């Protein structure tokens, strides 16, 4: 997976949503489609004449014949490579791959990757996937894929190399803090069906919901689970929303998830160079579940990115939840997907996300209200591995959310997860002494 927090402009035949995700999306699409594609300034026109001349010379005089399409695609990639790491050009095949990705099922290893300081970096492995089981961690630097260096490799190229047929292997050479030298991780690819919602309950009327990613059905699945919890927990006294190692996903799902817990107020806003890219998203009034008002603790860590940060930032700034854990990843830029007429597409960074109080998310992250460090696992193991090993002494080897959702979390399980344990303690002694200041507007 690459970064998924994108806008799809609705002038493609294969539109990703039946309606725009927010008011003004169509206007923004037309603003980009019109002037960007039809108007040329004298300066731009002169530059294009130089490009056309160079292209014609290569086509006619280069030692070996080259398809014109490859030359044009290469030129576009060259232009985009001068921008930020999240902007890219996708040929028709790459664009189809991205569309498959947002449907929540694909063949790969289950990691979200990005460019950080021009180094291919793991945002987070998705819980339960081959990458997660292999021990990849947030912040891991991928220096090679199947022996090929990732230096100067684009995100699109990296995703293409990491994916492959089911049951085939891919070897990632990983550099990690604490490693004396890079290590190889050989991982078997699988079809990755994303189960974005997992849940458990605790004694005393407390619920626990883990979001592993933000996909098409995340909000509807969350709402269904909250309804079940309301029926099972009487009274419903508190909820832990676990966004740790959630690499993000779809913008509309981030807004809708935050909306489940807010009755009013700003959720997130964007600001970009084009006025049409500056938008504000508000919580809707009415039709709220009981969970909209229960005490809430949100867990985040360095693997929480993009959509996770939008949710955490909104709930923190609106004084709706206590945010606990460690600082989040800091991926808060808007990538607009602009389909081109031949089936290819541009992914352009067009705006930045801001929390309700005006804090930029990109490269800053969300600072928790209460800092709780997780115990770091030894090289080659994940936190879930440690929990599983500890629990194996008492019961079958199961992860925290691999059991029936309505089976209460035990004291032994809580002891293996310090941030969750602290979150439960806060809920049992609610209200906390201090929350973030309520933003204005």
Percent of the chain with pLDDT over 70: 80
Pick the more confident residue, 5 or 379.
379
What is the pLDDT at residue 147? 96
Question: 397 and 310, same structural domain?
Answer: yes
Which residue range forms the structural domain that includes residue 374?
197-339+350-428
Active-site residue set: 306, 317, 331
Q: CA-to-CA distance for 77 and 395, rounded, in angstroms?
A: 53
* 124-128, 293-297, 388-392, range with greatest mean pLDDT: 293-297
pLDDT, one tens digit per residue, over 388-416 is 444 343 333 345 555 677 777 888 888 88
Q: Where are the alpha helices (DSSP H) in 62-144?
A: 68-80, 92-101, 130-134
What's the mean pLDDT in 293-306? 95
Average pLDDT score over the chain? 82
Q: Is residue 407 part of a domain?
A: yes
Partners of residue 296 on adjacent β-strands:
239
Question: 410 and 269, same structural domain?
Answer: yes
Q: CA-to-CA distance for 211 and 226, rounded, in angstroms?
A: 13
Q: Where are the alpha helices (DSSP H) in 102-214?
A: 130-134, 155-162
Q: What value, to the nearest 5°, has the Cα angle with vertex 366 and ends 362 and 368?
A: 170
Q: Is residue 320 part of a domain?
A: yes
Pick the more confident residue, 216 or 377.
216
Handedness of CA 198, 270, 85, 336 (dihedral sign): positive
Q: Are strands 183-188 and 169-175 parallel, antiparallel or unpaired?
A: antiparallel
- The total number of residues shown for the chain amounts to 441
Task: Quote the distance between the C-alpha of residue 110 and its chain's center.
Answer: 12
Secondary structure (3-state) at 293: coil
Question: 232 and 169, same structural domain?
Answer: no
Question: 400 and 302, same structural domain?
Answer: yes
Question: 127 and 232, same structural domain?
Answer: no
pTM over the 0.85 mark: no
What is the pLDDT at residue 161? 92
pLDDT at 34 over 50: no
Question: 233 and 293, same structural domain?
Answer: yes
Question: 156 and 301, same structural domain?
Answer: no
Question: 221 and 170, same structural domain?
Answer: no
Question: 203 and 189, same structural domain?
Answer: no
Pick the more confident residue, 338 or 1.
338
Q: CA-to-CA distance for 116 and 139, rounded, in angstroms?
A: 9
Biggest distance spanned by C-alpha atoms of the chain: 78
pLDDT, one tens digit per residue, over 170-179 is 999 999 988 9
Pick the more confident residue, 256 or 35.
256
Question: 418 and 324, same structural domain?
Answer: yes
Q: What is the DSSP letter of 377?
A: P
Among candidate residues 347, 350, 362, the one with its CA nearest the CA of residue 310? 362
Question: 282 and 134, same structural domain?
Answer: no
Pick the more confident residue, 295 or 436.
295
Q: How many domains does the chain have?
A: 2
CATH code for the domain in which residue 263 is found: 3.90.226.10
Q: CA-to-CA distance for 76 and 360, rounded, in angstroms?
A: 30
């Amino acid at each position: 997976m690459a970064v998924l927090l994108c806008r799809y402009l609705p002038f493609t035949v294969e539109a990703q949503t039946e309606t725009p995700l927010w008011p003004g999306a169509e206007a923004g699409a037309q603003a980009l489609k019109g002037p960007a594609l039809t108007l040329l300034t004298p300066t731009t026109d002169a530059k294009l004449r130089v490009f056309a001349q160079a292209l014609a010379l290569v086509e006619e005089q280069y030692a070996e014949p080259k398809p014109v399409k490859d030359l044009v695609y290469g030129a576009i990639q060259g232009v985009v490579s001068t921008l930020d790491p999240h902007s890219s050009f996708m040929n028709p095949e790459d664009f189809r791959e991205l569309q498959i990705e947002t449907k929540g099922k694909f063949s790969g290893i289950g990691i979200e990757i990005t460019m950080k300081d021009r180094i291919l970096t793991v945002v987070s492995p998705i819980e339960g996937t081959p990458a997660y089981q292999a021990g990849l961690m947030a912040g891991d630097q991928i220096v090679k894929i199947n022996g090929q260096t990732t230096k100067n490799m684009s995100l699109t190229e990296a995703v293409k190399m990491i994916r492959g047929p089911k049951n085939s292997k891919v070897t990632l050479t990983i550099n990690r803090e604490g490693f004396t030298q890079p290590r190889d991780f050989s991982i078997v690819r699988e079809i990755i069906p994303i189960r974005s919602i997992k849940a458990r309950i605790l004694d005393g009327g407390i619920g626990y919901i883990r979001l592993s990613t933000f996909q098409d059905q995340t909000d509807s699945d969350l709402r269904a689970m909250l309804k079940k919890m309301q029926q099972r927990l009487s009274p419903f006294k508190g909820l832990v929303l676990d966004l740790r190692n959630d690499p993000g996903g779809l913008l509309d799902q981030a807004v809708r998830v935050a909306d489940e817990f807010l009755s009013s107020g700003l959720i997130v806003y964007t600001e970009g160079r084009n006025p049409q890219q500056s938008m504000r998203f508000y919580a809707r009034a009415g039709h709220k579940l009981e969970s909209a008002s229960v005490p809430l603790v949100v867990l985040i860590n360095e693997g929480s990115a993009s959509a996770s940060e939008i949710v955490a930032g909104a709930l923190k700034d609106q004084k709706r939840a206590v945010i606990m854990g460690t600082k989040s990843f800091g991926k808060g830029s808007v990538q607009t997907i602009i389909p081109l007429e031949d089936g290819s597409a541009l992914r352009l960074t067009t705006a930045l996300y801001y929390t309700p109080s005006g804090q930029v998310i990109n490269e800053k992250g969300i600072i928790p209200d209460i800092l709780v460090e997780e115990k770091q696992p030894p090289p080659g193991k994940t936190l879930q591995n440690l929990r599983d090993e500890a629990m194996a002494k008492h019961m079958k080897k199961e992860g925290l959310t691999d059991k029936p959702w309505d089976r209460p979390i035990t004291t032994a399980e809580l002891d293996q997860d310090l941030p969750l344990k602290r979150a439960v303690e806060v809920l049992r002694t609610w209200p906390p002494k201090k929350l973030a200041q309520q933003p204005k507007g």
